Amino acid sequence: MRLITESYVNQISKWPKTGRHIIAQYDDQTVVVYQAYRPAIANFALTHGYFGGEFQLNRMSWIKTNFLWMMYRSGWAAKPGQEVVLAIWLKRTAFEEILSKVVHSSFIPELYTTQEAWQTALKHSQVRLQWDPDHHPSGAKLERRAIQLGLRGEILAAYAQDWIVNIEDISEFVRQQRRNINSDCTELITPRESVYSVVDTKIQQTLELSAWTE
């Protein structure tokens, strides 16, 4: 498996406990995002290196940077239609472009002059931003917020076919680690993740990122 992993208990002290943060595995060239699909869609992507076949470009597709948030949403690969969990290495320049085009899924007066202006922006947006409660491996809700990004239109088409560097099926790893969840999670292994730093101050403000110093 290409993903770099580490003990979960070794990582939690390095993560913020509250606030809005992009937590991800990344390097200078790529950012890992996660999606979960039924086998037909996942297998096409794994075979061809891009999304096609039964993948629907006319629907919004959500990507998540945080492994444990993906585990919560997919039920650790147990929910119907989410049996195959994919780790997707996305070009970092593409990820930055996605972040630059977000529109929040709820009205925020500080960012949008009126509710009508926000609704218009949301209607025409190609990237929808949601900050949802992050979750402990057990499923318990945390104070920290996790990001998920809904893609559609030209952005989704570029993501699906042009921006992907690598795709990996991590479903077996997910099932193995699901068995390692207990009260203290001492045996749990997760992808090594850290807070992703957004340099552009305007994008920081639009995302409403919380301050963080390691």
pLDDT in tens, 109-141: 888 889 998 998 889 999 999 999 999 999 999
User: pLDDT tens digits for 144-158?
Assistant: 999 999 999 999 999
Does the pLDDT at position 213 exceed 90?
no
pTM over 0.85: yes
Q: How far apart are CA 160 and CA 56, in angstroms?
A: 10
pLDDT value of residue 108: 87
Q: How many residues does the chain have?
A: 214
What's the pLDDT tens digit per position in 73-110? 999 999 999 999 999 999 999 999 999 999 999 888 88
Q: What is the pLDDT of residue 155?
A: 97
Radius of gyration in angstroms for the set of CA atoms belonging to the chain, rounded to a whole number? 17
- pLDDT value at residue 37: 97
The model's confidence at residue 31, banded by pLDDT at 50, 70 and 90, is: very high
Predicted pLDDT at 109: 83
Average pLDDT over residues 197-214: 91
